[in-house]
Structure 1
Amino acid sequence: MTAVRATAVTAAACATVLAAALPSSAINSYNATPAPERTEVGALVATWDDDSDPATPDRVDWVCSGTMIDTDTFLTAAHCTSDWPAGVRFFVSLDQDVQAGLDAAARRHPGDPAAQANAVAVEGTAHTHPAYPGPASDSHDIAVVELPAAEAAARWRFTPAALPTANQLGALGPQGLNSTDWFVAGYGTQEAVNGPGGQTHPGGGVRLKAPVTFDALNDAWVRLGMTAPQGNGGACYGDSGGPNFAVVGGRTILAATTVTGDTPCYATNVTYRLDTPGARAFLTPFVKLP
């Protein structure tokens, strides 16, 4: 699920993504490092209403992760942009520490969520896959946020992520996929921590990266191992929509986006392939594909 929507809005759509699994949204604490160099990776920020006056937003928070795939297109997950209250507004921040930025903005603009969001992010227009939520075999859990390119360029310097060619992952075959270096990035929380009252997922809001390893390839999904003994890190709550990169032929490509995984965030990151006909058809109106 997203970082805050488990309590802010319905999580019904999230539950349909994959049976008995919850959408992921964070980078684990083990084997993870800060990722200030991944300037194309950003956080999805939302403002929304949770009282009886939808005309004015009264909540603001970062809710998911994502990646710039050209100068004005931010790729994320459909469950991050769906099932919000009327009047929700979406923003994108490429700051390394978006939580610190929001905290500072809250002190400067108390009671003004829109001003707080604008202080750290650029507002855009969300486009969610029209067939989301689909079946477990392909949930169509993909969305983009279109930004004003001039505003994004004025605030940040980044090189958009390179997308895969058609069926690039499938063409690698099992041996090629196993020998490929993979890593995940995002702003999410840490793995489950036991404490009084049950499990919690601390942290979040800072861009991190961690190595992962290939596990399985399906028609719409890449499953990636994130078990600590193998030297892996992984995704957790808040990393939804964020990138999973693969280094193919010496070139880093954005192979898939984080969608779901195991509830405590210890074992598997289930990611949505970007080299499939369905993903490419959705992206075609927004970005030039390789």
Structure 2
Amino acid sequence: MTPVRAFAVLAAACAAVLATAPPSSAINSYNAAPAPERTEVGALVATWDDDGDPATPDRVDWVCSGTMIDADTFLTAAHCTTDWPDTVEFHVSLDQDVRAGLDAAAKTYPGNPAAQADAVAVRGTAHSHPDYPGPASDTHDISVIELPAAQVRARWSFTPATLPTAGRLDRPGPRGLDSADWLVAGYGTQEAVRQPGGHTHPGGGVRLKAPVAFDALNASWVRLAMTAPQGNGGACYGDSGGPNFAVLDGERILASTTITGDGPCYATNVTYRLDTPGARAFLAPFVDLP
């Protein structure tokens, strides 16, 4: 993981998403580590058509991150699941290295993006917040993918993330949130690297984690610092929709999801709170809320 920065989508799919969404994040290279134990964290994989023939998909790639919040519900960001061609299909993979899996599937199923996606992921149905994109105070940037639970269980073993109770982040106050242990996870790319012709964001497609630090809280957002000198890592392009965990009173909760940040992925991860009335109202039809 590189510095926390939430960018909308990977380069392969950004034309479909970035028209209306802020960039999403990826895990940075500094202060980061692989996260094989975070088996509830997954990658959003999309297949879509871009050659004018909708009969079969001709593109496949992982595009965002997210988290299993029960046996058949994957939480991600609405900017990851909106403004796609009508033929888009969404899949979820809980593999540690989705990029390698897709590369291997491309050799096994050349020219068949649907089979490549099925080789690494389970197909699901996306439900984006109906009011996305909302105002800056609450963009409603939240989405879930409903999955066939039996197929998910047959491929992966995981314990769903624990969602926060209503108003959970308000109770500790700034000092309590500042002293909590925060962790960001996702499949995103690394912080900007200067190359001939401009900056690039290398890496991506592998589940990583990094410590982050509390910065600020408001009605819909948690701002998290990902500054390297303080020992933090962070998110970057492709980490959108992925989890930001906090340990409060000894319990690890899924406090917020990565949405946006600074362009080079060096400073701040702006994340969407999951303990607010709006977020809970959206999630209530899909999961049992604490």
| Structure 1 and Structure 2 fold alike (TM over 0.5) | yes
Measured against the shorter chain, the TM-score band is over 0.9
Deviation string 1:228-279 (CA, Å, 9 cap, x unpaired) is 0000000000000000000011111000000000000000000000000000
Tell whether the 8 Å contact from 1:24 to 1:269 is kept in structure 2 after alignment: no
TM-score (ref. length: structure 1): 0.96
Residue among 1, 11, 30 paired with 1:4: 11
Q: Residue 257 of structure 2 corresponds to which residue in structure 1?
A: 257
Deviation string 1:180-220 (CA, Å, 9 cap, x unpaired) is 11010000000000010100000000000000000000100
Q: Does 1:13 align with 2:20?
A: yes
Distance 1:5 1:108, change over 3 A: closer
SS at match of 1:169: coil
User: What is the CA–CA distance in structure 2 between the aligned matches of 1:218 and 1:168, rounded to whole Å?
Assistant: 13
Tell whether the 8 Å contact from 2:48 to 2:87 is kept in structure 1 after alignment: yes
Q: Residue 139 of structure 2 corresponds to which residue in structure 1?
A: 139
Tell whether the 8 Å contact from 2:27 to 2:185 is kept in structure 1 after alignment: yes
SS at match of 2:70: coil
Q: Does 1:189 align with 2:189?
A: yes
SS at match of 1:37: coil
Distance 1:114 1:197, change over 3 A: same
Letter in 2 for 1:267: A
Shift of 1:25: 2.3
Letter in 1 for 2:20: A
User: What is the CA–CA distance in structure 2 between the aligned matches of 1:282 and 1:5, rounded to whole Å?
Assistant: 29
Q: Residue 127 of structure 2 corresponds to which residue in structure 1?
A: 127
| Higher RCO (Cα < 8 Å, 6 or more apart) | 2
Q: Does 1:219 align with 2:219?
A: yes
SS at match of 1:74: strand
Tell whether the 8 Å contact from 1:274 to 1:280 is kept in structure 2 after alignment: yes
Shift of 1:24: 2.2
TM-score (ref. length: structure 2): 0.96
Q: Does 1:208 align with 2:215?
A: no
Shift of 1:23: 2.6
Tell whether the 8 Å contact from 1:25 to 1:188 is kept in structure 2 after alignment: yes
Distance 1:31 1:10, change over 3 A: closer
User: What is the CA–CA distance in structure 2 between the aligned matches of 1:250 and 1:34, rounded to whole Å?
Assistant: 23
Shift of 1:10: 4.8
User: What is the CA–CA distance in structure 1 between the aligned matches of 2:17 and 2:283, rounded to whole Å?
Assistant: 27
Residue identity (%): 78
Q: Does 1:244 align with 2:251?
A: no
Paired positions, count: 283
Shift of 1:9: 1.8
SS at match of 2:169: helix
Q: Does 1:33 align with 2:33?
A: yes
Letter in 2 for 1:13: T
Shift of 1:52: 1.1
Distance 1:107 1:272, change over 3 A: same
Shift of 1:12: 1.9
User: What is the CA–CA distance in structure 2 between the aligned matches of 1:201 and 1:88, rounded to whole Å?
Assistant: 25
Distance 1:7 1:69, change over 3 A: closer
Tell whether the 8 Å contact from 2:64 to 2:239 is kept in structure 1 after alignment: yes
Tell whether the 8 Å contact from 2:213 to 2:232 is kept in structure 1 after alignment: yes
Distance 1:7 1:255, change over 3 A: closer
Letter in 2 for 1:36: P
Tell whether the 8 Å contact from 1:161 to 1:253 is kept in structure 2 after alignment: yes
Shift of 1:7: 4.5
User: What is the CA–CA distance in structure 2 between the aligned matches of 1:239 and 1:113, rounded to whole Å?
Assistant: 22
Shift of 1:5: 5.3
Deviation string 1:51-109 (CA, Å, 9 cap, x unpaired) is 11012100000000000000000000000000001110000000000000000000000
Distance 1:73 1:10, change over 3 A: closer
Letter in 2 for 1:288: D
Q: Residue 228 of structure 1 corresponds to which residue in structure 2?
A: 228
Q: Residue 199 of structure 2 corresponds to which residue in structure 1?
A: 199
Shift of 1:175: 1.1
Letter in 2 for 1:231: G
User: What is the CA–CA distance in structure 1 between the aligned matches of 2:148 and 2:250, rounded to whole Å?
Assistant: 32
User: What is the CA–CA distance in structure 2 between the aligned matches of 1:251 and 1:265, rounded to whole Å?
Assistant: 28
Tell whether the 8 Å contact from 2:132 to 2:141 is kept in structure 1 after alignment: yes
Distance 1:57 1:182, change over 3 A: same
For 1:21-170, list aligned pairs within 5 A: 22-170=22-170
Letter in 2 for 1:166: A
Structure 1 runs not aligned, ≥5 long: 15-21
Q: Residue 177 of structure 2 corresponds to which residue in structure 1?
A: 177
